[in-house]
């Protein structure tokens, strides 16, 4: 007897944040990557957001010092994302109904 999860009703924001963290976890923060950053693509050497994703990826791999060196907002951003995911799950906990079972 397993609980039924209705994925079609889960908020898109929740799915996006969870998928983003999963993709960051499996990414290689040391590898060069394609970027959508308009400042970097315009040739500027500094951008306030560049390195934030790599910082979160390093943090999830337990490399706190490297995460801080990559971008100092990586740890607070990760905590904000975890809090947002928790809030969305808490708001939508009715979607996991232990008493509703799919027909066999």
Convert the pLDDT of each residue in 25-43 to its tens digit: 998 887 877 777 888 888 8
Least confident interval from 19-28, 45-54, 78-87: 45-54
Q: Is residue 101 domain-resident?
A: no
Domain of residue 60, residue span: 11-27+48-94
Mean pLDDT of 61-73: 94
Q: What is the pLDDT of residue 15?
A: 92
Give the pLDDT band of residue 82 (cuts 50, 70, 90). very high
**Do the domain assignments include residue 38?**
no
- How many separate domains does the chain show? 1
Residue with tokens 């929740």: 14
Which pTM value belongs to this model? 0.74
Q: What is the pLDDT of residue 98?
A: 52
Please check whether residue 67 lies inside any domain of the structure.
Answer: yes
**26 or 2, which is more confident:** 26
On whether residue 33 sits in a domain, the answer given is: no
Round to whole Å and give the CA distance between 21 and 57.
8
**Position 60 in a domain:** yes
Beta-carbon neighbour count of residue 70 at 10 Å? 22
């Amino acid at each position: 007897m397993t609980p039924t999860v209705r994925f079609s009703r889960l908020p898109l924001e929740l799915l996006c944040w969870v998928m983003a963290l999963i993709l960051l976890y499996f990414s290689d923060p040391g590898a060069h990557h394609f970027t959508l950053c308009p400042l970097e693509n315009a040739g500027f050497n500094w951008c306030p957001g560049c390195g934030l994703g790599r910082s979160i990826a390093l943090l999830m791999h337990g490399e706190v010092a490297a995460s801080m060196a990559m971008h100092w907002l990586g740890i607070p951003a990760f905590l904000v994302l975890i809090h947002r995911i928790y809030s969305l799950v808490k708001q939508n906990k009715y979607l996991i109904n232990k008493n509703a079972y799919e027909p066999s």
